[in-house]
């Protein structure tokens, strides 16, 4: 069985490339997926890449990861700052989690400085644009190797 990483993207990330490029960059979500999958292949990992604007769908995906994935990389978008449901799901599945954000949350509005996701995550990668996703894959690879 290959080592599978679930990469989840929250609301409005489907608009990357056109949504506030001065904050989020010019890369589309397809570009991000390509970069993420390419780095994962180099490290011998399989990626399942998903995006939803629906909190309940993200919770369902997290729950379904138990027994099918080895770790979760998540950019929960705005749900980062509001969703206890996503936090509870991440804790419930007991998988390693790496949180990633395109922009530096701590250079943004005050309400973005708090993340519910971080308390379930092994680490947080923020502010490196689309390059943060391959960094998150590297971090997850290291976490999984250390656990083996």
Q: So which residues are the catalytic ones?
A: 24, 101
| C-alpha span between 43 and 138 (Å, rounded) | 8
**Alpha-helix runs per DSSP H in the chain:** 21-24, 29-42, 55-65, 84-93, 132-147
As a whole number of angstroms, the distance between CA 39 and CA 116 comes to 27
Residue 14 belongs to what H/E stretch? none
């Amino acid at each position: 069985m290959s080592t599978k990483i679930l990469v989840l993207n929250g609301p409005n990330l489907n608009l990357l490339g056109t949504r506030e490029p001065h904050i989020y960059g010019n890369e589309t979500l397809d570009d991000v997926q390509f970069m993420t999958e390419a780095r994962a292949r180099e490290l011998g990992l399989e990626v399942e890449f998903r995006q939803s604007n629906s909190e309940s769908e993200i919770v369902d995906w997290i729950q379904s990861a138990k027994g099918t994935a080895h770790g979760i990389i998540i950019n929960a978008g705005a749900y980062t700052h509001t969703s206890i449901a996503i936090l509870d799901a991440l804790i419930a599945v007991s998988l390693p989690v790496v949180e990633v954000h395109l922009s530096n949350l701590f250079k943004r509005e005050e309400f973005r400085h708090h993340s519910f996701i971080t308390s379930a995550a092994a680490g947080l990668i923020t502010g490196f644009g689309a390059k943060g996703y391959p960094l998150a894959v590297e971090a997850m690879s290291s976490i999984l190797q250390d656990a083996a």
